[in-house]
Structure 1
Amino acid sequence: MQAAFLVAPEGTEEVELTRPWQAVTDAGGGPTLVSTHAGKVQAFHHLDKADTFPVDLTVDEATAADFDGLVLPGGVANPDALRLDRRAVAFIKSFFDAGRPVAAICHAPWTLIEADVVRGRTLTSWPSLRTDIRNAGGTWVDEQVKICTAGPNTLITSRKPADLEAFCAAFVSEFSH
């Protein structure tokens, strides 16, 4: 199982990157850190700086065909920066176009809204995105993990770090098919 993790150069919630990354590794898979710029990304623990992580590929170097699925960690600043980068949005959309599964947690569905891929889908997120998801044509639910197959691919979403165990189990199972 090869999984792409897309994060902005700064702002991803560290645990929403490291726990899913470890879940892929524990399942015998290969995680790849993809970002909009080469170098390192700065993760955060809420509003405080946490560790940095080396970027494996930029969005210009990676393609959906190289991966079994895409993981979109949250944090408030991370998806907000990614949704403003047309290359990152195109990279996300390419997974939907290719029918590959996508997993997004917390605020990460902002990037899905920007990629115009939530219409007709049911998903969850951090509660503050509820109206954004509805306005984009999606159905928001308050569940630990939501697996939606109503579309060209499977979409797995969760609300927050407390949901990580269920989130990781769901996306690892889907990416392993």
Structure 2
Amino acid sequence: MAPADNSAIPAAMSQAAQPFWKTKTLEELSLEEWESLCDGCGRCCLVKLEEEETADTYFTDVACFMLESHSCQCSDYEHRKKHVPDCVTLTPELVRTIDWLPPTCAYRLVAEGEDLYWWHPLVSGDPSTVHSAEVSVRGKVKADDTQIADGEWEDHVVRWPMRVPKKARRK
């Protein structure tokens, strides 16, 4: 028997075997696909400071008061804008223009044509791998934004949200 000749397989069939984040642009995603890209790390819920002179953005280890620090989920995601009017709602355009999305962020990765990490729930099939890979903010948040006084914010600047933890690196 001769080996199968895969050159005759239509492109549409080979694309169908690929996960949606490899075959669609951010603009082509359904709402369900868009929401599923969020890995639940909570990094985007950390308070960020912007230096006025340079417009550089700095992460803190302070989370929005709406973030449940153990689950790394918003306590009222659907109505978060009522409680936090300046909460950023990601869009494909924003994903491509803001500079503070962590290097592990699936929205950023898809926009850049990169694959998701092994620990992403869409790849692993397990929402807890984002925590076991030490990507999430679980155990790293020192306070919520209602607990920090003026003048104390700079004491909470951290670099880890813009880094890929050793446990999380590509295998």
Q: Shorter-chain TM-score: what band?
A: under 0.3
Structure with higher strand content = 1
Normalised to the residue count of structure 1, the TM-score between the two structures is 0.26
Higher Cα Rg: structure 1 or 2?
2
TM-score by length of 2: 0.27
